[in-house]
Amino acid sequence: MMAPAVDAAIRMRAVKKSYGTLEVLRGVDLDVEPGTVFALLGSNGAGKTTAVKILATLLKADAGTAMVNGLDVVAQAARVRESISLTGQFAAVDDVLTGRENLILIARLRHMKDPGKIADDLLARFQLTAAEGRRVAAYSGGMRRRLDIAMSLIGSPPVIFLDEPTTGLDPEARIEVWQTVKVLASRGTTVLLTTQYLEEAEELADRIAILHQGRIIADGTLAELKKLLPPAKVEYVKKQPSLEEVFLAVVGARGGDRDADVAGRVGSEVGGP
């Protein structure tokens, strides 16, 4: 089990969640340091969205504890919601309104002073000023997602959850979102990113956890995770393992004995359960 992080912005301990007889989370332990991008990596159905919903107070865990910004997500749910923002798999924007009107609407709902200035600042920050007067229905996928993330920043939440933010986007739009996440990280925002795209985690994350069959089976930096594979054979050029190779090897190790030695190294070298 991982060592506890005293100043963790996000923490889960032994969190379990089932839907009827289906066990989705089977004892998840997680620590995310403040001001970092943490990628929760897993296949479809691994439990990533369920974990995020528990942290965002949208679901209650069956067992275990979860903390965000030092606040218990059950006992202090209202305060947790005040300090976070959640962007789901599909952009939650109003197609009838313009980009600027979407931002002003959220600022007013959050009782912010000077909603117009807030909107103008965010439009400039996310390179949407030229499109501020256009209805969002005419935006590209990347623009819609950038606007969605901009809306989530109103009120300056210290923690942001991005649940598969590039699902369904083309490569160019995905790169736009990646650049947006990098800007967030550079400003000290804590970002928990769920994704099934291995290169996305590799590109953005300070730390990566692999969620498989309801458990965290590996947790570390990209360099630490790469050490789970045997050293590359040196012929003329040393080939470093990719995150995709690490992911497939670790997940495969839990499905049989073929890679049992890799599974053993997960707990000893990186801190998996």
**What does the DSSP 8-state code read for residue 257?**
S
Question: Tens of pLDDT along 127-181?
Answer: 899 999 999 999 998 899 889 988 988 988 999 999 988 887 788 878 888 888 8
Task: Find, among 260, 53, 90, the residue nearest to 165 by Cα.
Answer: 90
- Rounded CA-CA distance 258/272 in Å is 19
Which residue would you say has higher pLDDT here, 244 or 57?
57
Q: Where are the domains of the chain?
A: 10-217
Can you give the C-alpha Rg of the chain in angstroms?
20
Element of type H or E holding 193: strand 190-195
Where do the H-state alpha helices sit in 26-140?
A: 48-55, 77-82, 99-109, 115-125
Q: Does pTM surpass 0.85?
A: no
Q: Is the pLDDT of residue 108 over 90?
A: yes
Whether the per-residue pLDDT at 83 is higher than 80: the answer is yes
Query: 169-197 in b/e burial notation, b at 16+ Cβ within 10 A?
Result: beeebbebbbebbeebbeeebbbbbbbbb
CA distance 180 to 185: 9
Other beta carbons within 10 angstroms of residue 109's beta carbon come to 10
Task: Please list the residues that pair with 134 across neighbouring strands.
Answer: none
Under 8 Å between Cβ of 37 and 47? no
**Tokens 């649940």 sit at which residue?**
163
pLDDT given for residue 235 in this prediction:
62
The predicted structure's pLDDT at residue 15: 98
Write down the mean pLDDT value for the chain: 86
Give domain 10-217's CATH superfamily.
P-loop containing nucleotide triphosphate hydrolases (3.40.50.300)
Question: What mean pLDDT is predicted for residues 193-201?
Answer: 91
CB 200 within 8 A of CB 166: yes
Exposed / middle / buried, residue 234 (Cβ in 10 Å: 0-12, 13-18, 19+):
exposed
Backbone angles phi, psi at 213, to 5 degrees: 50, 40
pLDDT band, very low/low/confident/very high, at 258 (cuts 50, 70, 90): very low
| Measured distance CA(132)–CA(127) in Å, rounded | 10
Per-residue pLDDT at 7: 79
